[in-house]
Chain A
Amino acid sequence: KNQVEQSPQSLIILEGKNCTLQCNYTVSPFSNLRWYKQDTGRGPVSLTIMTFSENTKSNGRYTATLDADTKQSSLHITASQLSDSASYICVVSHTGTASKLTFGTGTRLQVTL
């Protein structure tokens, strides 16, 4: 069964600190993996997309890594800001099937003063 598991479920950090969110997947055949940021009351917004051959991709203070062998991805947030408070969702895409995505349940991040 295709699954995406994220950890931790929730996280509280102080402003300015770094954090790393984890995503493990069992999706096959794998096409790509995206990290989305979802602010409260809003729809998800894409942060990064990674294909099988990519190990690292950055978007400002967000850096995603992918290990296709172990089927793990991480999202590292550097120098966190209050505006980083949101849910972060890992989404894995399957090849060969239209509109087939598997969503993780997300990590709820709260950045405090």
Chain B
Amino acid sequence: NAGVTQTPKFQVLKTGQSMTLQCAQDMNHEYMSWYRQDPGMGLRLIHYSVGAGITDQGEVPNGYNVSRSTTEDFPLRLLSAAPSQTSVYFCASSYSYPGAANYGYTFGSGTRLTVV
């Protein structure tokens, strides 16, 4: 049981390049989310999905796209990388939505992205 798998673990991009951060879970969770973690700030929600084919914007969606073609996969695309997108990115999945009393988020191990 792998849980939530993120790839790559580290990435360096040049300004203007695009890339996709991969996220896969094997727990059959409907809810998946992408967060970014910056020094001195709490995790901030970028995009989330409540099931295959359904995505929505979070708190800081600009510059990022997502899609959810299967229950297992939830990739995050950076369209044109900017230095402000230098951060650690976490994918998380849950068996129920976070507003529910018994939700349980499982986080991936993160992708450390540097944009130069």
- A residues contacting B by CB (< 8 A) are 4, 31-32, 34, 41-46, 49, 51, 89, 93-106
Q: Is B50 interfacial (CB-CB < 8 Å)?
A: yes
- The tally of residues in B whose CB lies under 8 Å from a CB in A reads 28
Do A101 and B41 form a contact, CB below 8 Å, given A41-B109, A46-B105? no
- B residues contacting A by CB (< 8 A) are 4, 31, 33, 40-45, 48, 50, 56, 58, 90, 92, 97-105, 107-110
Do A43 and B41 form a contact, CB below 8 Å, given A96-B99, A100-B99? no
Do A101 and B40 form a contact, CB below 8 Å, given A31-B100, A42-B110, A93-B98? no
A103 to B45, CA, bound (A): 10
Do A32 and B101 form a contact, CB below 8 Å, given A4-B42, A99-B33, A103-B42? yes
